[in-house]
Chain A
Amino acid sequence: SAVISQKPSRDICQRGTSLTIQCQVDSQVTMMFWYRQQPGQSLTLIATANQGSEATYESGFVIDKFPISRPNLTFSTLTVSNMSPEDSSIYLCSSAEGAGGPYGYTFGSGTRLTVV
């Protein structure tokens, strides 16, 4: 299965600033996803990153706050814009290959974001 390199692994940011998280996959993958995991909570899907087109956002998430890019089949970025302390979370990217079967999903190691 694919291997994802996610950067940065952690960051502490000032409120009102923006942070861009990068995910690089070592092979071409069909789908890429971005999740948010608030402290002690489950993973919530932010959006599906579509190659060459606008991302598909889930209810409660908007492009202005979480712009996503996916310029090719191996790379995607998530920006957390105009951050507030409520944005403090772990952000994870994930990829799915083929039909998304049992071994088709891979996760990045996560970005632990603290907003002060």
Chain B
Amino acid sequence: AQKITQTQPGMFVQEKEAVTLDCTYDTSDPSYGLFWYKQPSSGEMIFLIYQGSYDQQNATEGRYSLNFQKARKSANLVISASQLGDSAMYFCAMREDSGAGSYQLTFGKGTKLSVIP
């Protein structure tokens, strides 16, 4: 089974509107971390936001917020006031803190976001 599922291969959003990118995850580890990365066409991986499994509040970083619903195992990224520069691939990733493979990041398939002027 996939550990990270991103069900939206592509999304369109009007400039200045908000958009939600979906991410669900699967783990039995009680301690884990969830990440969102942005990858523009240049290929670099840009860290956006992080949510720890024990964090009580949803993470926010500027225009980015993470809608963390632990019981549903979802960690959706919300981008407010979209800008043309937000057009990129967005990856959700998870780090599981126990057992073999600790510190490895597992990535979802990504969502290609296109911002329309």
Residues of A within 8 A of B (CB): 30-31, 33, 41-45, 48, 90, 92, 94, 96, 99-103, 105, 107, 109-110, 112
Query: Which 9 A-B pairs give the minimum distances between C-beta atoms?
Result: A102-B50, A107-B45, A100-B103, A110-B43, A43-B107, A42-B109, A42-B107, A96-B103, A31-B103
> Residues 84-116 of chain B: 1 if any A CB is under 8 Å from the residue's CB, otherwise 0?
000000010001010000111111111000000
Partner of B45, one of A30, A92, A100: A92
Give the one of B44, B45, B91, B102 with max A CB within 10 A.
B45
A100 touches B109 (CB 8 A): no
* A-chain residues with CB within 8 Å of residue B106 when the two chains form the complex: 45
CB distance from A48 to the nearest CB of B (A): 7
Q: Which residue of A lies closest to B95 (CB)?
A: A100
Q: Report the tally of A-B residue pairs with Cβ distances under 8 A.
A: 54
* A-chain residues with CB within 8 Å of residue B44 when the two chains form the complex: 107, 109-110
Q: List 15 A-B contacts (CB under 8 A).
A: A43-B91, A45-B106, A90-B43, A92-B43, A96-B103, A99-B97, A99-B103, A102-B33, A102-B47, A105-B35, A105-B47, A109-B44, A110-B43, A110-B45, A112-B43
Partner of A100, one of B33, B42, B47, B91: B33
Q: Which residue of B lies closest to A44 (CB)?
A: B107
Known pairs A100-B103, A103-B47. 5 more at Cβ < 8 A? A30-B103, A90-B43, A100-B95, A100-B102, A101-B52
* A-chain residues with CB within 8 Å of residue B103 when the two chains form the complex: 30-31, 96, 99-100
CB distance from B45 to the nearest CB of A (A): 4
* B 17-72 contacts with A by CB, 8 A: 33, 35, 42-45, 47, 50, 52
Q: Which residue of A lies closest to B51 (CB)?
A: A102
CA distance A44 to B97 in the complex (A): 19
B105 touches A105 (CB 8 A): yes
B43 touches A42 (CB 8 A): no
CB distance from B38 to the nearest CB of A (A): 11
CB distance from B98 to the nearest CB of A (A): 12
